Structures are given as C-alpha cells and as structure tokens.
Amino acid sequence: MTFAELVAKIRNYTEVDSNVLTDSIVEDFIRDAELKIFREVDADYAREYAAASLIANSAYLDLPNATSSSGLTSTRRAIIVRSFLVEDSTQSPTTKVYLEPKDTSFIFEYNSTGATGVPKYYAMWKETTIIMAPTPASAYNCQLSMFIHLTIYQLQIQLLILVITLLSYCYMQH
C-alpha cells in the first residue's frame, strides 16, 4: 500500500474529504499511530544505541546520533529513549546506574536546589534534549538505548518483515 492509498483509506473510513482531513492532519494521525506502535512493541529494528559523555554541572544532554547494530552511525533522531545508563568511574570499581524516567516537573521539584552528583532520574526536556537530576558532578560516560525515527517506507518494510516472521512462526507451530 502506498502512502496515497493509506490516506485515501483513512479519508474513506472517516467519510470526509481533503478539505477537512488535510494531508498535514493525516500525516500527524499516522505519526501518532506509529509512536503508539513504538511504545507498545519493543521491536529490535527500530532500536539503536548511542554513547555520550555528560557535561559536569550541566543537567542537560543533547541526544547524540545513534549507532545501529551494524556499527554505522545514523543521523536519524531518537523519538523514545528506552534506557539511560550512566557509568560512575569516580568509584572503584566503576558503578553503572540505570536512570529512572520521570516527568520534567518531577526533575525540577526533586532538584530544586541544583544539587550535583550521579544522576538518578531523567526526563525528555525537548525532542532532542534530556534533563537529569541530580545534575552530573562529573563528565560521566553514558549509553542510551532509543527508538529512532523511521520513514513511512522504512516502517512498511520492517512491518512486512515482522508479518512474514509471525506467519512463519505460526506455520511452524502447526
């Protein structure tokens, strides 16, 4: 199915034309559906990893470019951070801490004094920026696991592969 066919099906189903359901609205509708799928299905094809160094005394981290499982750097944007691991090498042996996701209001309330230390919590500040609490006291190394932005075409290919895999599994069970 092409993008145009999908848009036509949505408009036919809702019984409205392009004056009401503009291309922009349909694209947002489709994007929201994709995001719901990403949140609910932990699919490896959309998961990528990135390493970064936190900046001492800065509560913010700009999301780095992701690295795919093949080792190639991607310029695709993260849309959902699944895990955030911070390595505290100031201790011996190095400790690794997974940060807990929270809302930005929690981050500000938890760290209203601007305390520094090894971060415990994070929240999405902007689409490409994370905020942490407490504020990192050192330039800790970190690793992020995230879902990345896929184009409609990439998503269609990956969903087709998923359907084929599921059908193969069902066939083998019988």
* Residue 69: per-residue pLDDT: 46
Provide the domain count of the chain.
2
* Residue 40: per-residue pLDDT: 72
Q: Is residue 82 part of a domain?
A: yes
Q: Give the pLDDT confidence of 114-143 residue by residue, as tens digits.
A: 899 999 999 998 877 899 999 999 999 999
Q: Is residue 119 part of a domain?
A: yes
Q: Is residue 166 part of a domain?
A: no
Q: pTM for this one?
A: 0.63
Q: Give the pLDDT confidence of 56-72 residue by residue, as tens digits.
A: 999 999 887 654 444 44
Q: Is residue 153 part of a domain?
A: no
Is the domain of 50 the same as that of 124? yes
Is the domain of 136 the same as that of 52? yes
The fraction of the chain above a pLDDT of 70, given in percent, is 76
Mean pLDDT of 8-32: 84
Distance in angstroms (rounded) separating the CA atoms of residues 106 and 130:
13
* Residue 89: per-residue pLDDT: 86
Is the domain of 5 the same as that of 59? no
Is the domain of 36 the same as that of 63? no
* Residue 9: per-residue pLDDT: 85
What average pLDDT does the chain have? 81
Mean pLDDT of 90-102: 91
Cβ-based neighbour number of residue 67 at 10 Å: 14
Is the domain of 71 the same as that of 17? no
State the residue range of the domain holding 122.
44-148
Q: Is residue 78 part of a domain?
A: yes
Is the domain of 101 the same as that of 65? yes
Q: Is residue 103 part of a domain?
A: yes
Is the domain of 36 the same as that of 50? no
Is the domain of 127 the same as that of 75? yes
Reply yes or no on whether the pLDDT at 102 is more than 90.
Answer: yes
Q: Which segments of the chain are extended strands (E)?
A: 47-53, 60-62, 78-88, 95-98, 100-101, 116-117, 121-126, 129-133, 135-136, 141-148
Q: Minimum mean pLDDT among 24-28, 75-79, 157-161: which range?
A: 75-79
Q: What's the token pair of residue 48?
A: 């990528």
Is the domain of 63 the same as that of 30? no
Is the domain of 55 the same as that of 117? yes
